[in-house]
Amino acid sequence: MIHSIGVKTIDGVANLGRFAIFATRAHVVSLKSCFSPKSYSLIWAQMNIIGVHSVPVVMVTGAFVGMILALQAYGQLASMGLEEHLGVLINIAVVKELGPVLAAVMLAGRVGGALTAELGTMNVTEQIAAVESMGTDPVRYLVTPRLVACLLLTPVLIVFADLLGIAGGYFVSVIQFGINSRAYIDFSAQGVELWDLGTGIVKGFFFGGAIAMISCYKGFTCKEGAQGVGQACTEAFVGSFMTILGLNYVFAVVAKAIYSTFWPVQSLL
């Protein structure tokens, strides 16, 4: 048993090392590609697939998050006569945590799964080796456009999720429960700071990078056969999901520390 634990640990560390090398290389190549007009058409195509096509699903997710928050929290606040403060609760939850995390999880499922399946199939049918054999760096040709598209567009998609989350919460609170619209908006504006919105959006940058890196790495290292591709997709989604949650926690700790350093009084209130 000790032997198998040892083997698994060594494998895990080696795999993490390979992932780190892959991710570093992908970021360096991506940075260079941003200054090379030749890559723009590839990046543009991926932006369309990854970003534009994900807008509806992210918007629907955001809208339902806002709506369900309003539905569940109204009873609690109304019993204390604080229903007009519902907007603060909904909007902070949406822009700070739920919007970014759920949008990123949706992306991990929709985009991450597709990326791994596509690159995994290319790997097992030797298409990646074919790219390499023709003197083209497969990381530059295949990974860079996907990474850049995920990095740039995940924050934008989070804005869409936030927007629809806010609208969904407003719709249920004001239209369904009849909360005064002016009070709802005023309390929301007082409670939600630009900092909350900003941290939520900046998180998207990291989430997007994690989704692209994990999905591409799993695709590039996927094992032979249909089962291999399927397994890689599952691992990519689970890996991305866990990483998003982990990163979200780390980000919350860091953001809180920064906030209390620069605005010590507000953080106490």
Partner 1 sequence: MIKASVQPNDGLIVVRNIVKSFGRLLVLDNVSLAVEEGKTTVIIGPSGCGKTVLMKHMISLVRPNEGEVYFKGERIDELNERQLARIRVEYGFLFQMGALFDSLSVYENIIFPIQQHHKITDWKAIDELVKQKLAMVGMDGFQMQFPSNLSGGQQKRVALARAIAMDPNVIMYDEPTTGLDPIRSDVINELILKLKRELKVTSIVVTHDMKSAYKIADRIVMLHEGKIIADGDADHIRNHPHPVVEQFIEGKIGEADLAALRHGGTKFQTQYAKDDFK
CB atoms closer than 10 angstroms to residue 70: 25
Using the minimum distance from each CB to partner 1, give the nearer residue, 139 or 244: 139
Tell me how many residues contact partner 1 (CB under 8 A): 14
> Binders of partner 1 among 5-34, rule CB under 8 A?
none
> Binders of partner 1 among 100-159, rule CB under 8 A?
122, 125-127, 129-130, 132-137, 139, 141
Using the minimum distance from each CB to partner 1, give the nearer residue, 135 or 178: 135
Q: How far apart are CA 30 and CA 146, in angstroms?
A: 10
Using the minimum distance from each CB to partner 1, give the nearer residue, 191 or 228: 228
Q: Is 180 in the site for partner 1 (CB under 8 A)?
A: no
Residue of 57, 56, 29, 55 whose CA lies nearest to 43:
29
Q: Sign of torsion, CA 219 223 224 230?
A: negative
CA distances (Å), 85 to each of 78, 90, 140, 200, in order?
Answer: 9, 9, 50, 21
Q: How far apart are CA 240 and CA 101, in angstroms?
A: 11
Q: How far is the CB of 25 from partner 1 (least distance, A)?
A: 9
Q: How far is the CB of 102 from partner 1 (least distance, A)?
A: 30
Relative orientation angle of helices 194-220 and 2-33, to the nearest 10 degrees: 110
Q: Contact positions toward partner 1, by CB under 8 A?
A: 122, 125-127, 129-130, 132-137, 139, 141
